[in-house]
Amino acid sequence: MNFEPLLSKLFSRGVTSFDHDFPDFFGYRYATEMGPEKVIEVIREAGLRGRGGAGFPTAVKWDYCRKASGSPKYLVCNADESEPGTFKDVQIMMYDPHALFEGIGIAAYAIGARQAYIYVRGEFDLPARIMELRIPKAHISMQQVQIFIHRGAGAYICGEETALLDSIEGRRGEPRLKPPYPAECGLWGKPTVINNVETLTSVSKIFRFGLDNWKAKGTPKLYCISGDIINSRVFEAPLGIKLRDIVYNYGGGPLPGRKVQAVFPGGSSTAPLRDDELDIPMDFKMPDGKPGIIGSAGTIVVDDSRCMVDVARNIMRFYAHESCGKCTPCRDGNALVHDALNDILEGRDAGYAMEYIERMIPRIFTDCFCPLAKGAMNALGAIFTKWRADFESHVFGSGCGRKRIG
Amino acid sequence: MIDSKNYAEARICLQKVPEGPAELEMQKFINKREEKIVTILKMYPEPRPALIPILFELQRDYGWIPPMMVKIVAERLRIEPSEAYGVATFYSLMKTKRAGKYVIMICGTLSCELKGSAEVIKAAETALDIKVGETTKDGKITLKRVECLGYCDKAPVVQIDNSSYCEKVTPEDIVKIIKRLRNEF
């Protein structure tokens, strides 16, 4: 593979090996000499899209916030990486925090913010401590911006940008109604840009290595792969590689003697695909213009020794537990669907439970407030239609006979 | 943003004549952690966002967050106590009920469960003689099944308290971990 890694260059180093490095923040100095408009122009030319899952063009967001009235402006780095199957941001925070700080400096300069918050999920104690140690050094080189670490307290929903803002403000992390978008009215009602860790690190790499290097062999992107696979790991590859390539090439394929049954392409909120559907690109847009499947690029592989009803039960337990409780379809719906799946697995009135799930999926999907339940129904709906035989074997027969995972 | 006015306001949050035993306890905590609390208050343009970090500091000292303390912190930060309690109970890492000295959290989300975290939980249940979500009779260890901890490549993952991680844990490993935690007392 002749692909030069940019984002994951330092991942093989030990956590403490660069304690005494003094970062030069060359990219930041380069950006501040250009002027903010030009910085946004460079990001637009690089075609950078948000890496957190939504894939919104970063330059548009920055430009909008830059032009918004209201002061002071804030920059928030979303390091609340909680999507099951995603573990790329934590690697950046542990092994390459200076690149993240540099990206924050450049972004803050472009939008005109003086304060930046890094919202780290509460479970990431070590990454947060590593960053806390290194921030003073970053402040010496980047005096225009103050970086603060705000630790979350364990809520998946706080990865949603407006819930994250509520959480920083010291409230329950519940999503806000959009519009107004945070770029106009965000943290404490001020214009705020919220970017993912990988997005900001990419910004730093664009200015450090130049646009030509950035685009040379396809846009660099971090992918994660886990589940029933030989090599569970984070790796860097160009944006738009085929999903089959990820599973069989980078992931090493399924364990010996087993076959790939389902692949969640971008975390557990994306619709799983069968083995024969893997020849599609991992990108923000499909070749035919439909929304892409990349999500947060956390691929989870499930092999043929698993019962898909059981897999559905597992992911619904996650969403039922992590629902913030703001809207009824998500708070009650997810829990009821989880119970219905349990009923199917244990053979309690399974026919009714299956009908119930079928009726609930579109209702929760359309009525819920934020993307949490939409993602859950996305995945569950796809499992329900594609692996209907698994459900039917439990409802009309004596079960699929496979060992349960939990 | 952190001008002298904010700083003055931050000091007001700290200084209040203690009334009653709970407030005295609180004042003791504030005096002990003053430096840290002032740093937290100085991070934000208003006092309210300091609620979650201060409650975390409290949890670090006391092992859990007593409801009475939530009320006092809320009053000093000028938040309605009921609202502050709502915040404290919303987040899963905040212990508003008394928990064991050590909390063993075993990840049960997809990648971990595919790699056998259910068996790890079963082994832990047998070794501790409790069910998931319970605390041992001596009040030393609480066992919890949690959702994704964010290290899916090293599944199954076990986290002890809010800091230390164990990767690729087998049922035999968890028994060893429990033995080591018990010996520490």
> CB burial class (10 A; 0-12, 13-18, 19+) of residue A288?
exposed
Crossing angle of helices A328-346 and A371-386, in 10° steps, is 30
Contact (CB<8Å) B159/A154: no
Answer whether A26-215 and A220-303 agree in fold. no
Q: Are A341 and A316 in contact (CB under 8 A)?
A: yes
Contact A274, A262 (CB under 8 A): yes
Q: Please name the residue ranges forming H helices in A221-349.
A: 243-244, 308-322, 328-346
Q: How many CA atoms lie within 13 A of B23 on its CB side?
A: 11
Q: Do A172 and B90 count as a contact with CB atoms less than 8 A apart?
A: yes
Closest residue by Cα to residue A128 from A194, A225, A197: A197
Confidence of residue B165 (pLDDT cuts 50, 70, 90): confident
For residue A103, give the H/E element and its range.
Answer: helix A97-111
Give SS3 for A27: helix
Domains, chain B, ranges and CATH? 4-90 (1.10.10), 102-183 (3.40.30.10)
Pairwise CB contact (< 8 Å): A125 & B147: no
Where does the pLDDT of residue B4 fall: very low under 50, low under 70, confident under 90, or very high at 90 and above? very low
Level-2 CATH architecture, domain A220-303: Roll (3.10)
Task: Specify the pLDDT at position B68.
Answer: 86
Residue-by-residue pLDDT tens, chain A, 406 positions: 456 788 887 777 665 555 556 678 888 999 999 999 999 999 999 989 998 888 899 999 999 999 988 889 999 999 998 899 999 999 899 888 889 999 999 999 999 999 999 999 988 888 898 899 888 888 888 888 999 999 988 889 998 999 999 999 999 999 999 888 998 889 999 999 999 999 999 999 999 888 888 888 788 999 999 999 999 999 999 988 999 999 999 999 999 999 999 999 988 999 999 999 999 999 888 888 888 888 889 999 999 999 999 999 999 999 999 999 899 999 999 999 999 999 999 988 999 999 999 999 999 999 999 889 999 999 999 999 999 999 999 999 888 888 888 7
Q: What is the pLDDT of residues A324-368, one digit of tens each?
A: 989 999 999 999 999 999 999 998 899 999 999 999 999 999 999
Fold entry, domain A308-396? de novo design (two linked rop proteins) (1.20.1440)
- Whether the Cβ atoms of residue A66 and residue A40 lie closer than 8 Å to each other: yes
Q: If phi over 0 gives left and psi between -120 and 50 gives alpha, with beta otherwise, what is residue A47? A: left
CB atoms A268 and B109 under 8 Å:
yes
pLDDT higher than threshold 50 for residue B2? no
Prediction pTM value: 0.92
> Looking at residue A217, what DSSP letter applies?
T
| Rounded Cα distance, A317 and A330, in Å | 12
Query: A154, B91: Cβ pair inside 8 Å?
Result: yes
Q: Which residues in chain B have Cβ-Cβ distances shorter than 8 Å to A306? A: 114
Domain boundaries, given as residue ranges, for chain A: 26-215, 220-303, 308-396
Best B2, B3, B46, B52 member to test A by mutation, with max A CBs in 10 Å, is: B52
In angstroms, the CA A52 to CA A285 distance is 15
pLDDT tens digits along B140-153:
899 999 998 988 98
Q: Are A109 and A36 in contact (CB under 8 A)?
A: yes
Q: Which fold has domain A26-215?
A: Rossmann fold (3.40.50)
ipTM for this prediction: 0.89
* Nearest beta carbon to residue B1 from set A81, A83, A115: A115
Q: How distant is the alpha carbon of residue A52 from its chain centre?
A: 4
Chain A neighbors of B49, CB-CB under 8 A = 150, 168-170
